A and B are shown apart, each in its own frame.
Chain A
Amino acid sequence: MEDIKEIQRRIYPPMVEGEHDFGTVSDRISDLTLKKRTPIGWYIGFAIGFMLLQVLMMTVTYLLFTGIGIWGNNQPVGWAFPIINFVWWIGIGHAGTLISAILLLLNQKWRTSINRFAEAMTLFAVACAGMFPLLHTGRPWLAYWLFPIPNSMGMWPQFRSPLMWDVFAVSTYATVSLLFWYIGLIPDIATLRDRAKNKYFKFVYGLLSWGWRGSARHWHRYEIAYLLLAGLSTPLVLSVHSIVSLDFSVSQVPGWHATIFPPYFVAGAIFAGFAMVLILCIPLRAWYNLKDFITDTHLIYMGKVMLATGLIVVYGYAMEAYFGWYSASKYEVFMIQNRIWTGPYWWFYWLLIFCNGLSIQLLWFKRFRESAFWLFVISLIVSVGMWLERFVIIITSLHRDFLPSSWAMFAPTIWDWSMFLGTLGLFTTLIFLFVRFLPVISIFEVRTLLPEANVHGHQQDFEENVVEIETTRDPDRGGGA
């Protein structure tokens, strides 16, 4: 019997460690918001995030009064930091949807304890991403022109443009992510409502839970809705980054005009997103002592996903270079040479290869994959690497145009940096507020992971299965190896 337990542990590592029942699971997670003293790490993190948020406020104010000339954008580098940062942020968001939707459809139980804050991460990352194109328009108060609203000018947006597709993709993505996240929260907010002692908390959580009472009929429709949302989000998330990549690849610019872009962008997005999930959850589980729910197994799985998607991204780099050569177009060949060794930004390219290509190779080794410290360090490097990737794609393609007379260098100004740092502040602030006021782990889904959640012990027949394997191996019954 002990052996079977051991085998079971190895094949299906438990997703909840320690001794837990429905009650302790509910208490442990909801106490983070209701009872437990806020750890000092929270105050430090929130303070840093909030200070950076002020940098964003200042930058946006100055920007609105002065115009986008305060940035380093020029001709021919018209798409500079705003688009780099937009693509970087929106990519980060994608891991949240991957975890919550695609892994749900694939029946990966380990998604359960990380999906909630991965979804929150998606939402906040999309909010940060959205600021860049909005402010890059220069007159954000006219941004409603992007939507097909009948107006007195008799004008319509141009639906044949990928930029218009982007408006539809990103706004749909933000809306559906919000719905998915909030629907997932409703039963857990009901738990908070029922456990809150404080009158005001009780009232606010009561409002937000919409009177959820866990009725079987409600759960029945709830699960259908949740599954359908997962099924709808899956093609959605793939379409969003594909459309973002079409902003580039539909154009004629050498270095952008490549058919590999959509899958390569999607893989890069998931890669960057998993890095961000690891950056967030490693400190979170240490400060809040959540190692029972976000186990080492979770971190190892995420490390493996990072390695796999990272390798796809590296394949994308190889294919970009190959296509440049194989196209036999002198502009494409020149672009690749310029990007990799002859151009002024060559070292960005090699830094990118180091961050996204070399650093992840450590994940082949158990020692690094199983160490939270190394996963954290590699995730930080990957986040920098994915930012550099967008820098390389956007800046090196634009700064050497078709006409040498229009060539120019790009250098970011202090306002480019403050805008980027500011959105990091917005993201951090929102994440910390979320951790403080809402359940960071999906409580009702973690309850279903406990063995006692199975009626009549269904799905617990592992022991019987092992016995069955033993009997099929029996030579008398004709079973082979």
Chain B
Amino acid sequence: MDKKLFGFLAEFDTPTEMVDAATKVRDAGYTKTDAFSPFPLHEIDEALGIKRSILPYMVFAGGIVGLLSGLGLQYYVHVIDYPLNVGGRPFFSLPSFIPPMFELTILLAAFTAVFGMLFLNGLPQPYHPVFNVPRFALATREKFFLLIESDDPKFDYNETRNFMESLNPQEVFDVEP
């Protein structure tokens, strides 16, 4: 039975109930946990001990790469490969290079934000065991779910199930892998 189980999913009606339960789950020492909600809940990050993502640093790096590639491209074009004398102005005319540099900064930073987020989230991922629970369809509508995975070191079928029942959920579901 244990072998074939992905974990337990507990359903809650309100965000407050789920956040309180998540705090208890964390205090009980479970680490392989997750929560599902129809909208972002800031309190759950703390309750489950979710660390701050490295995404902002990636986006900053993306922006820097964009800025430098904009500068490099224009420098190569106008100074190295095809220097063109326009009214005696310098080949390296930085002020007029700024708009393309700026736009490329934004473009690459935005790409990093979107695709970095999807990459770190492991999306697109069409299949996930939680979708096996029919009630889970409500996680994108109005219900809140808390998950403890079976490969958590503290996981024990009966004990964990009893523990989850004690959190006052609407129901606890077995999640097939």
Contact = CB atoms under 8 A, between A and B. Distances in A.
* A and B from one complex: yes
A168 B100 contact: yes
Interface stretch (A72-80, A327-335, A449-457): A449-457
B74 interface: yes
Interface of A, secondary structure class, is helix
B38 interface: yes
10 contacts: A159-B96, A169-B99, A194-B141, A195-B141, A210-B123, A210-B125, A216-B45, A221-B53, A225-B55, A236-B106
B50 A217 contact: yes
Chain A contact-residue range equals: 35 or more
A369 interface: no
A193 to B, nearest CB: 8
B130 to A, nearest CB: 6
Interface string B87-117: 0010001001101101110110111011011
B117 A453 contact: no
B123 A229 contact: no
Which of A164, A214, A233, A243 has the largest count of B CB atoms less than 10 A from its CB? A214
Interface of B: 14-16, 19, 34-41, 43-45, 48, 50, 53, 55-56, 59, 63, 73-74, 77-78, 81-82, 84, 86, 89, 93, 96-97, 99-100, 102-104, 106-107, 109-111, 113-114, 116-118, 120-121, 123-128, 130-131, 136-142
B13 to A, nearest CB: 9
Interface stretch (A3-11, A175-183, A337-345, A418-426): A175-183
Contacts of B126: 206-207, 210-211
A219 B38 CA distance: 10
A199 interface: no
Interface stretch (A20-28, A81-89, A115-123): A20-28
Contacts, number: 196
Q: Interface centre among A191, A194, A220, by most B CB within 10 Å?
A: A220
Contact of B55 (A168, A228, A457): A228
Contacts of B128: 211, 213
Contacts of B59: 225, 228
A190 interface: yes
Contacts of A452: 14-15
A243 B106 CA distance: 15
A19 to B, nearest CB: 14
Interface string A428-470: 0000000000000000110110001111110000000000000
Contacts of A220: 40, 45, 50, 53
A160 B38 contact: no
B40 A448 contact: yes
A455 B43 contact: yes
A155 interface: yes
A103 to B, nearest CB: 18
Contact of A219 (B40, B86, B102, B116): B40
Contacts of A191: 38, 140-141
B99 A187 contact: no
